[in-house]
Each structure stands twice: as structure tokens, then as C-alpha cells.
């Protein structure tokens, strides 16, 4: 029986971890769900919520930092953070470039490992900082995994 893949923002994952008593001592759930962080920056609040990280599915550093500085420029110009986030993605062609990155050997290897885990019955949730209303690289990663599973 195959598992599943889902996506979740860090804030939602935090809420889920607090609301489920079984996660108070160990975030890993008894139902086989593994929360995998795929972000560049790993702060304590992030590491406390995810079961493991897979940095090969995070945006490459050059792409991340270009997006970050572009977002900051938009915010300095008065855009709200969510709008600045999405506008920065558009301006630097973030998703087109991230899709190209997903074709690299490094990313393909990580996708293969996760695909096999899902085929073996593990439920995986991809976690990143991006919250509601923000475009996020976790969605194309999930789409790639689902296409490999013929979902």
C-alpha cells in the first residue's frame, strides 16, 4: 500500500504539533507520517517541528538569496510581505529556475529516495516557511513526487 505526499507551512505544522498530544514528546506520529523540512534556513523553530530535513530539495543558495534580496527591496518600497514574496518570485523567474534545479542529479536523487519511501507506505509532509497566500517551492516538489507515483 502506497503512502502519500502533502505540503504544509511551518506555522501550520507548529499548530498541528501542539494540537496532537502524541506529538508533544515526539513529533513523529504513530500513523507513519514524516514531516520533512525542505527549506534553506534551519532555525530552531523549524528543526523542532520537522522530523528530518532534505536540503537537496531546497532552492539552491543563489536562487534563494536572490529571491530574498528582491523581496526585501519590494518590502522597502512599501509592499506587504506576502505581496513582496510573490512579486519577487515573479521578477526573478523563481519557479522556472527552481524547476530546472529539480532536474539536477542532486535533486533527482532526493526525489527518488522520497518516492521509494512513499511507495513503501510512508506518508510524507513537505514543510517550508512559506505561509498561506505565498507561492512556495514545496508545491512543485510535491507535484514531482506525485507524478512519479502516477497520482
Per-residue pLDDT of the chain (151 residues; tens, 9 = 90+): 689 999 999 888 888 765 554 444 454 445 579 999 999 877 777 778 899 999 999 999 999 999 999 999 999 999 999 999 999 999 999 999 999 999 999 999 999 999 999 999 999 999 999 988 899 999 999 999 999 998 6
Euclidean distance between CA atoms 129 and 118, whole angstroms:
23
What is the C-alpha separation between 130 and 150, in angstroms, rounded? 27
pLDDT of 20: 54
22: left (phi over 0), alpha (psi -120 to 50) or beta: alpha
Strands (E), the chain: 5-9, 33-37, 52-53, 123-128
- pLDDT score at 48: 83
43 burial via Cβ count (<10 Å: 0-12, 13-18, 19+): exposed
- Residue 79 has a pLDDT of 96
Confidence (pTM): 0.87
pLDDT at residue number 24: 47
Helix and strand counts by DSSP (H, E) for the chain: 7, 4
Strands ordered across the beta sheet of 123-128: 5-9, 123-128, 33-37, 52-53
What's the DSSP call for residue 133?
T
Counting other chains too, the contacts that 63-72 makes at CB distance below 8 Å and 24 or more residues apart are: 63/92, 63/94, 63/97, 63/98, 63/101, 64/40, 66/92, 67/92, 67/94
pLDDT at 132: 83
Return the pLDDT at 31. Answer: 57
pLDDT for 78: 97
Amino acid at each position: 500500500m502506497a503512502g502519500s505526499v502533502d505540503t504544509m507551512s511551518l506555522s501550520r505544522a507548529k499548530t498541528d504539533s501542539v494540537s496532537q498530544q502524541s506529538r508533544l514528546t515526539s513529533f513523529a506520529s504513530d500513523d507513519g507520517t514524516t514531516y520533512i523540512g525542505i527549506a534553506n534556513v534551519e532555525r530552531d523553530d523549524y528543526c523542532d517541528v520537522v522530523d528530518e530535513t532534505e536540503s537537496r530539495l531546497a532552492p539552491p543558495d543563489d536562487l534563494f538569496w536572490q529571491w530574498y534580496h528582491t523581496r526585501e527591496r519590494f518590502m522597502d518600497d512599501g509592499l506587504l510581505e506576502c505581496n513582496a514574496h510573490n512579486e519577487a518570485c515573479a521578477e526573478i523567474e523563481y519557479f522556472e529556475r527552481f524547476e530546472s534545479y529539480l532536474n539536477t542529479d542532486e535533486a533527482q536523487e532526493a526525489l527518488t529516495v522520497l518516492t521509494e519511501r512513499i511507495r513503501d507506505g510512508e506518508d510524507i509532509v513537505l514543510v517550508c516557511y512559506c505561509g498561506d497566500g505565498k507561492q512556495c517551492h514545496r508545491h512543485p516538489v510535491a507535484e514531482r513526487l506525485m507524478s512519479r507515483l502516477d497520482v
